[in-house]
Amino acid sequence: MRKFKSFLAGCGLVLLLVVGLVIWARLPLAAVGALLLALALWLLLTRRGRQTLSVTGVGISTLGQRIGASSVIVIGIAGVVGVLVAMLAMGDGFQATLQQTGSNDTAIVLRGGSSAELNSVLDRDSVNVITQAPGVARGANGAPVASAELSVVANLPKKSDPGVDANVQIRGVGDEAWALRPNIHIIQGRRFKPGLRELVVGQGALRQFAGLGVGKQLRLAGQPWTVVGVFASGDSHDSELWGDMQTVAAAYRRGSSAQSVTVRLTSPQAFDTFKAALSADPRLKVDVSTTREYYNKQSEGLTKVIRVVGITVGAIMAIGAIFGALNTMFAAVAARAREIATLRAIGFRGVPVVVSVLLETMLLALLGGVLGGGITWLIFNGYTASTLGANFSQVVFQFRVSPQLLWTGLKWAMAIGFVGGLFPAVRAARLPVTTALREL
């Protein structure tokens, strides 16, 4: 009967632990601050709280004697937090790069059912109908501010892996493309000239691929092309090469077709009018979205994959860190059995003992979280990487180690410390005083 009751008590403790971890994961910073304030008041203003501080002080003072075992907790949790934050920073950086691309007052039109530009084809008649639709802004010359564009993929050697090729997106554009994207500006050289096999390259592509400096020549579609300029955009276009629409179409045998049409709207509110007009036109079967919405969708799939992988790897490592903390704290409790029994014998209750062991473990966990987050921020914040985007071309982006991600890492660290310290703490509180004192 006693064993059955112990089993039920253990199951109840595990259930409460799971519920507590779920709640902890969802707590905002303000709620955590309120909990810490309540804990501080309890420690300072209550008798048991002061007893807890005394016991905790004794435990912390012996950490130097247990430096090897304590470092297992710190290093293990630092590794968990470092890996987790780095993976999430990669996902956030990729997502931010695509989300910065586009705006609500520009729209992109693709063939109906196309998930990306690479899958879309629009004939010349469709392009003309789209550019003349209501809601499209017009320039000073009365012409619609619209750009029919091609998107093709070529292989170029990477700087980081000599001899290894990767996909790069080549975008064929017209003069209106520059007016549609005022954030793009030439930082080296000049723009390409219509009708010539000239390219301007994004600064991200310049960093990733070899042979893209101004004045360099490369072969695309079996023809020589000259790099005449470098542009900066601060978004996913930084990963692209731009050339004249008609010249790119001729080189890749695309005829007079386009893959997408990007237009500037008279206002963000004009989008509904523009979309409704195209949807109602029987000559067209197209998908219409704002450019911001389009690029947001392009980031969703890969960002989810990166997050799932990061959390999965972090969870596996967290389990290992929890076992490390359990072993360390069980050993610490066993080594301090006589000390704990003496405290119990002179009037210290079980709660101060439990809380003191938890505080000691969570202090080590906090140290590990700060160490892991700090190292990740130093190494990866702003680190440039690239990965395949929706058009099967390399998208250059930077890792973003934000304060929110660091806070997430610290919450994981504290959760690991709590789980790793809870069961040793309960064992310390249940330690029979007479049994422990016999070891004196």
d(CA 139, CA 210): 38
Mean pLDDT per segment of 10 residues, for the chain of length 440 residues? Answer: 59 70 79 89 87 80 76 87 90 82 89 86 91 89 89 86 82 89 92 93 90 90 92 89 92 88 92 92 91 84 81 83 77 66 67 80 89 93 75 74 91 86 74 56
Assign 3-state DSSP to the chain and report helix, strand, coil percentages, each to 5: 60, 20, 20
SS3 312: helix
What is the Rg, in whole angstroms, of the alpha carbon atoms belonging to the chain?
31
- Sequence-ordered list of residues with C-beta below 8 angstroms from that of 286, at least 6 positions apart, any chain: 109, 110, 111, 112, 122, 126, 130, 278, 279
Rounded distance, CA 226 to CA 218, Å? 7
Instruction: Say how many C-beta atoms besides its own lie within 10 A of residue 366's C-beta.
Output: 16
User: Alpha-carbon distance 192 to 361, whole Å?
Assistant: 62
CA distance linking residue 56 with residue 340, whole number of Å: 11
DSSP letter, residue 211: T
pLDDT of res. 342: 67
d(C-alpha 41, C-alpha 52), whole Å: 12
How far does CA 434 lie from the centroid of its chain?
54
Helix (H) and strand (E) counts in the chain = 14, 12
pLDDT of residue 296: 84
DSSP per-residue string spanning 106-167: EEEEEETT-SSGGG--B-HHHHHHHHTSTTB-B-TTS-B-EEEEEEEEEEEEBSSSTT-EEE
How many angstroms separate the CA atoms of 198 and 215, rounded?
10
